[in-house]
Amino acid sequence: MEQVKTVKGDIGNSKVASTIPVRVKQDTKQKIDDLLERINKKDLGRKVRSDELVLTALSLVGSEQIKQLREKSFSNADRFEQAYRRYISKNKSTTKDKFLGLVMAGKVPLSAQQEV
């Protein structure tokens, strides 16, 4: 759901804000500001706003980038759980303890790329 704030004017009627704040790390904001400064270093035309920059960047995100972001979000426990689920889908059912033993013995790889 999108968050919209209403702001009371001096005359008492409500106005709906057309922008909302987005939380980013300080270094991310600095990179956006630096890039906007480079983009807006021109003689003519209006200034490019951060919203336009973000929309353009988001349009360039493809399935490969989504896959990379998902992979980066997994903890070691998540990767272990994925490998366990792959193993029990292809082999007989086993306990996580026995699966851990197989992994530690080097009989089962944790990575899907290693299963070739």
Q: Strand, coil or helix: what is 16? A: strand
Please report whether residue 90 resides in a domain. Answer: yes
Q: Which two tokens stand for residue 12?
A: 């008492």
Please report whether residue 88 resides in a domain. Answer: yes
Domain of 83, in residue numbers: 74-111
Please report whether residue 102 resides in a domain. Answer: yes
Number of helices and strands in the chain (H, E):
5, 2
Q: Measured in whole angstroms, how far is the alpha carbon of residue 97 from the centre of its chain?
A: 32
- Does the predicted TM-score (pTM) go above 0.75? no
- Count of CB atoms situated within 10 Å of the CB of 87: 19
Number of folded domains in the chain?
1
Please report whether residue 37 resides in a domain. Answer: no
Please report whether residue 21 resides in a domain. Answer: no
Report d(CA 51, CA 40) in Å as an integer: 14
Please report whether residue 14 resides in a domain. Answer: no
Please report whether residue 100 resides in a domain. Answer: yes
Please report whether residue 101 resides in a domain. Answer: yes
pLDDT in tens, the chain (116 residues): 455 555 555 555 567 778 889 999 999 999 999 999 999 999 999 999 999 999 999 999 999 999 999 999 999 999 999 999 999 999 888 899 999 999 999 888 877 665 54
Report d(CA 19, CA 84) in Å as an integer: 44
